[in-house]
Amino acid sequence: MNKLIIPIIIAVIFAAAAGAYFVFQISSFADNKPIPKESVVYPQKFHVEGSKIVDESGKEIIFRGLDIVTTTYLLKMDQKKQGLVVWGEDFFREMSAWGSKITRIQILPEEWEEDRANAIKLIDQTIEWSKKYNMYIYLEYNVAGFPPTLNYNKESKSATKQDFIDFWDEISKKYKNEKTVAFYEIMNEPTYSSNKSRLDNALLKKDWLLWKEFAEEIIDVIRKNDPDSVIIVGGLVWGYDNSFALEYPIERENIVYGTHPYPWRSEHKSWDEAFGNIKNKYPVFATEFTVAGLATNLRKWDSVRNELSKMVYSEDLHEEGKKVRGNKRKESEIALKMVERIKKDRAALNYLVSEREKYKREIKSYLENKKISWTAFTFYSIYPEFSMINEDYTLTEQGEWFRQWLQEKK
């Protein structure tokens, strides 16, 4: 009798355990969808699903990283003699230590035209160093202007449609199988066909349709070589305004909308209107922005500058600025003069600093809440106000702030 009972008890226990395991499995996958695995293998191939950038397992990825000035530009300069950081592996080791996962790599049209073999060599070296530290890069054709009508300002190198085609055809052929190159960004900052368009939303809408058509042609050039590539298309008004994409989206797959949410851009359109509402439907990547020093904010931020003019005399500098409009270096010098005046007025200085600090809090909260990827401008620059590090890798005020943000998300 006992000989029969023992096997029966064992069978009952096994069946109960199996049933419990089955119930657990059903409850774990109640929606019948497998839970995505964590991304542990580097590098991953990314794609777009709805409003998300996802990896090979389907996990949403929020990129947080840094922008660097063009590598060939740095190398052309006698960096050690000028006391500048020498471009090299230390760049990438330091960015990785901060917690940066992706680097925006700029390629200027003139660099490409003058010595594309060297430009390719430097991109290859950048990829090698990025791999060493498990980082990604994305490549950006550093053009600012409106290529559909060839509207470029005097400080920007113009580029024709054929220039865009030649560049992206060669780049996409070269890096089509390189997963470390996560994205292609068609250009730096699309602008508008004229100042009238910038100030008239109906005209700007027409510009978007021109830009959309142009961008789709370039996307087709890339996709001929790299069909699964993820491509970033920037908004109008210096890369900021994607508002028209809700009604007239880029009609291609695997598209991410790029934006440059500098503090002063919200005077054109709110963040919600320019790119935040887009994120409800499509991925958005803030490919360039800064919380740089007081002079830059003063030079560009009209509402802040107007408020300060009520506190500190600036009429003479305003007139001086009119004469050099478009000359960034001269404009910066005048802005620095104004900052020196502001520093002598406690109320004015407190106001300017408080506006910058308010922006820092708000942009961080907005990007995180919207799950918008970003690369901040700039890890290193010959213009100290924009740079996050000094020549000895000590941190600037901006560098400390971005490093802390990256460390929080590391």
Q: Please report where in the chains the tokens 């060599």 appear, as a residue.
A: 121
Residues paired with residue 141 on neighbouring β-strands, in sequence order? 107
Report pLDDT for 325.
72
**pLDDT tens for residues 78-106?**
565 666 777 789 989 999 999 999 999 99
Q: Which two tokens stand for residue 81?
A: 């003699």
Q: Which two tokens stand for residue 403?
A: 């490093």
Query: How far is 85 from 66, CA to CA, in rounded Å?
Result: 16
The stretches in the chain having pLDDT less than 70 are 1-40, 71-83, 293, 295-299, 326, 328
Query: How far is 85 from 145, CA to CA, in rounded Å?
Result: 30
Query: With contact defined as beta carbons under 8 Å apart, do 235 and 210 qualify?
Result: no
Report pLDDT for 4.
41
Domains and CATH numbers, the chain: 57-292+372-408 (3.20.20.80)
CB < 8 Å & 24+ apart, contacts of 170-178: 170/116, 171/139, 171/222, 172/221, 172/222, 172/223, 172/224, 172/225, 172/226, 172/229, 173/225, 173/226, 174/120, 175/123, 175/139, 175/226, 176/225, 176/226, 176/229, 178/127
Report pLDDT for 375.
99
Report pLDDT for 32.
45
Phi/psi of residue 371, nearest 5 degrees = 55, 50
CB neighbours of residue 48 within 10 Å:
16
Report pLDDT for 336.
81
Report pLDDT for 357.
93
**pTM score, two decimals?**
0.87
Report pLDDT for 71.
65
Q: Which two tokens stand for residue 37?
A: 């695995």
Q: Which two tokens stand for residue 315?
A: 């009429």
Query: How far is 374 from 256, CA to CA, in rounded Å?
Result: 12
